[in-house]
Amino acid sequence: MQNTQSIQGILSIGALICLAVGWFNLFSPQLNHILYNIVFYVLIGLSFYFAASSYPNKNYQYISYVAAALCIVGAFLPTNLAFLKTIGLFAGVILTFVARPQPRR
């Protein structure tokens, strides 16, 4: 469990760096596009994939795997199908808040 959280933390930091690079246009337009529109979604998708194992409900795990797949596959699709990665991102973020495991007391 701790190893999974460490991996998620590293992936999240990488995704935030990609987001900042895209916002501030730190590199060439081509590199900004790759980091902001592809690498960001792949990192977020991987984070959703690793988060799935922490959900106690199997249905939440399946939804998290689908959200991860939509983010990763959608990152490589043409722009007219880019809505798929956005759906995956929103599904994963909503699921993260709804299915968060409750600490035992």
CA 55/CA 21 separation, integer angstroms: 31
13 falls within a domain: yes
pLDDT of residue 46: 95
Q: Is residue 88 part of a domain?
A: yes
Q: How many residues does the chain have?
A: 105
**Based on the structure, what is the number of domains in the chain?**
1
Mean pLDDT taken over the chain = 90
pLDDT at 100: 74
104 assigned to some structural domain: no
In tens, the pLDDT along 11-26 reads 999 999 999 988 998 8
Residue 103 within a domain: no
Place of tokens 């795997």: 65
In terms of residue numbers, what domain contains 66?
A: 2-98
pLDDT range class, residue 62, cuts 50, 70, 90: very high
| pTM metric for this prediction | 0.89
Query: 96 phi and psi, to 5 degrees?
Result: -60, -40
Q: Rounded to an integer, what distance in angstroms lies between the CA atom of residue 38 and that of residue 102?
A: 32
Burial of 7: CB neighbours in 10 Å, binned 0-12, 13-18, 19+: middle
| Confidence at residue 43, expressed as pLDDT on a 0 to 100 scale | 96
